[in-house]
């Protein structure tokens, strides 16, 4: 995903794609349009290549077949990368194009009550309950906590020898999650439910990185409840989670607490209903899994790019060390935007169209999964000239487009934790740029490894700390 390129000025760096009609069709209208071209590989081989080398797979398919193509086999998805198609799916009525997260391999892990896996009215109910803890003053309160977690972690990093940033970023985000979501600050006393919850969370996340994790995932696809090793691992996490929930529900200071668990315990639906312990468990586990690894690996990708792009790194370092808050904030923001454009941790999202749907010159039938390749959208040359270069300056005079910069998804399914994830990245990136001088341990860029639904640095973003 790297290519040499000429220097462009900021105003040339964000554009618009030519229009392409998209949206629901009648059956008669759909019959008048051809189906998207099919990838000429066996169904088994294309699934293997997509799961193992998605970047090469989708870029080659777009190069050979165009911006809309379909995979082979009954029920296989159509993949698109045009912003107009993205807009049609993000703004569609939920009953016309429900999210594919209801069919996610994470469903047996996080449960059916999660805002991630619920669809229709259930999803909207859960979303309304979860919105308050992720906006405005709530996010501002987390900033000091994030800064403390970042500084504590940075203090222990080695000088002069290579180490991987991804697990260090995960340590920071774990502290933030424990404090922000559960209200557990610092390191809990051994033997307490809080300590058990922290340890089980660390174990589960570590286990998800092991080679056997893909086999465990395959065993659980399509199931309502986890089985095998996944079930045993979740039991280890569920025990302390339910203990913490029950203790917090009975806490005398519940109304004074501002962590997400406490706020959810006080939340009520429009009908006056409170969340059950199982609903709380599903939501909390979703926030842990979705908010922990994704944010950590996005920060790892940011540094993987920075240490291999000297101009961008120097630009950021100078800005945050000037002492000017506005200059620093702008440099941090543009660096994050460019990192999430060039290396989105979630590379693809989707909807299932329940009626015939137009995608440019093609039509797809009802009950078809349509996936939007975030990677391909973010690397369109007509929107992002010189798309393979890491250039934070492309955002100096531009704001992210609703349908052209989509690392958090969009529409009614846009990531609820987006504001917290951005706040966490801003604070951690600024503190690291202020305190550290890092360099790559190897000049060659790290490739992407695909794990579950994420795209992560193959070597964990290895660096050497010089200061």
Domains contained in the chain, CATH given: 10-15+25-368+387-465 (1.10.630.10)
Hey, what are 18's tokens? Answer: 């030519």
Mean pLDDT of 322-332: 94
Rounded Cα distance between 115 and 124, Å, is: 8
- Say if residue 394 is exposed, middle or buried (CB neighbours under 10 Å; 0-12, 13-18, 19+): buried
Cβ contacts of residue 251 below 8 Å, gap of 6+? Answer: 257, 262
pLDDT at 1: 61
Task: Report which of 436, 174, 430, 181 is spatially closest to residue 296, judged by C-alpha positions.
Answer: 174
pLDDT at 9: 36
Is it the case that residue 381 has pLDDT exceeding 90? Answer: yes
**pLDDT higher than 70, residue 417:** yes
Task: Please report which confidence band the pLDDT of residue 43 belongs to, taking 50, 70 and 90 as the band edges.
Answer: confident
Q: Please write down the long-range contacts of 4-12, taking CB distance under 8 Å and 24 or more positions apart.
A: 5/386, 5/388, 5/389, 6/386, 8/385, 8/386, 8/391, 8/394, 10/393, 10/394, 10/396, 10/397, 10/398, 11/397, 12/385
Could you give the count of Cα atoms lying within 13 Å of 9 in the half-sphere of its Cβ? Answer: 1
User: Distance (Å, rounded) from C-alpha 80 to C-alpha 238?
Assistant: 38
| Nearest residue to 332 via CA among 307, 296, 306, 309 | 306
State the greatest distance between any 2 C-alpha atoms of the chain, in Å, as a whole number. 67
At residue 165, does pLDDT exceed 70? Answer: yes
Is the pLDDT confidence value at 2 over 50? no
pTM > 0.75: yes or no: yes
pLDDT digits (tens, 9 = 90+) for 259-316: 889 988 988 877 888 889 998 988 888 888 777 789 999 999 999 999 999 999 999 9
CA 22 to chain centroid: 26
Query: In this structure, how many other beta carbons lie within 10 angstroms of the beta carbon of residue 122?
Result: 15
Nearest residue to 260 (alpha-carbon basis) of 144, 171, 134: 134
- Judged by phi (left if over 0) then psi (alpha if -120 to 50, else beta), residue 234 lies in alpha
The pLDDT score that the predictor gives to residue 443 is: 95
Q: Which residues contact 467 (CB under 8 A, 6 or more apart)?
A: 159, 435, 436, 437
Q: What is the mean pLDDT of residues 5-24?
A: 66
Tokens matching residue 296? 């950590």
φ, ψ for residue 268, nearest 5 deg? -135, 145
Name the percent of the chain lying above pLDDT 70. 91
| 44-50 mean pLDDT | 81
Reported as a single tens digit per residue, the pLDDT across 234-264 is: 888 899 999 999 999 999 999 988 888 998 8
Q: Which helix (H) or strand (E) holds 422?
A: helix 418-435
pLDDT at 220: 60
3 state DSSP class of 125: helix
pLDDT over threshold 60, residue 369 = yes
The pLDDT of residue 7? 34
The sheet carrying 462-465 orders its strands as: 162-164, 462-465, 438-440
pLDDT digits 0-9 by tens, 55-105: 889 999 999 999 999 998 888 899 999 999 999 999 999 899 998 876 666
User: CA nearest 163: which of 452, 449, 439, 451?
Assistant: 439
């Amino acid at each position: 995903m790297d290519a040499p390129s000429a220097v462009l000025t900021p105003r040339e760096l964000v554009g618009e794609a030519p229009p392409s009609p998209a949206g629901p069709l009648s059956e008669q209208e759909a019959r008048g349009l051809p189906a998207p071209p099919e990838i000429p590989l066996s169904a088994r081989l294309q699934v293997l290549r997509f799961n193992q080398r998605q970047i090469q797979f989708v870029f080659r398919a777009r190069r050979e077949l165009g911006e809309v193509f379909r995979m082979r086999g009954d029920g296989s998805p159509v993949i698109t990368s045009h912003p107009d198609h993205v807009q049609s799916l993000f703004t569609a009525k939920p009953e016309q194009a429900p999210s594919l997260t209801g069919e996610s391999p994470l469903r047996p892990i996080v449960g059916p009550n999660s805002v991630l896996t619920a669809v229709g009215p259930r999803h909207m109910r859960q979303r309304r309950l979860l919105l308050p803890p992720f906006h405005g003053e709530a996010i501002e309160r987390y900033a000091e906590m994030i800064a403390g977690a970042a500084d504590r972690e940075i203090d222990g990093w080695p000088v002069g020898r290579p180490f991987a940033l991804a697990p260090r970023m995960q340590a920071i985000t774990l502290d933030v999650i424990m404090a922000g979501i559960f209200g557990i600050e610092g390191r809990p006393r051994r033997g307490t439910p809080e300590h058990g919850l922290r340890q089980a969370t660390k174990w589960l996340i570590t286990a998800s990185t092991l080679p056997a994790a893909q086999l465990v995932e395959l065993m659980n696809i399509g199931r309502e409840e986890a089985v095998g090793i996944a079930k045993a691992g979740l039991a280890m996490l569920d025990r302390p989670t339910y203990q913490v929930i029950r203790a917090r529900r009975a806490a005398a200071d519940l109304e004074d607490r501002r962590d997400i668990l406490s706020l959810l315990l006080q939340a009520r639906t429009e009908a006056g209903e409170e969340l059950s312990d199982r609903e709380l468990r599903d939501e909390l586990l979703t926030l842990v899994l979705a908010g922990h690894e994704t944010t950590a690996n996005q920060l790892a990708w940011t540094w993987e790019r920075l240490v291999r792009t000297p101009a961008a790194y120097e630009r950021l370092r100078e800005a945050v060390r000037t002492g000017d808050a506005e200059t620093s904030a702008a440099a941090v923001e543009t660096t994050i935007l460019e990192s999430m454009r060039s290396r989105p941790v979630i590379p693809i999202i989707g909807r299932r169209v329940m009626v015939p749907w137009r995608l440019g010159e093609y039509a797809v039938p009802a009950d078809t999964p349509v996936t939007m390749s975030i990677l391909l959208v973010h690397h369109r040359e007509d929107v992002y000239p010189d798309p393979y270069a890491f250039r934070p300056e492309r955002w100096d005079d531009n704001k992210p487009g609703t349908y052209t910069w989509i690392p958090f998804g969009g529409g009614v399914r846009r990531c609820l934790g987006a504001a917290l994830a951005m706040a966490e990245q801003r604070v951690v990136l600024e503190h690291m740029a202020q305190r550290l001088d890092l360099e790559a341990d190897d000049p060659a860029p790290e490739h992407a490894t695909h794990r579950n639904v994420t795209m992560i640095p193959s070597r964990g973003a290895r660096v050497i700390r010089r200061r």
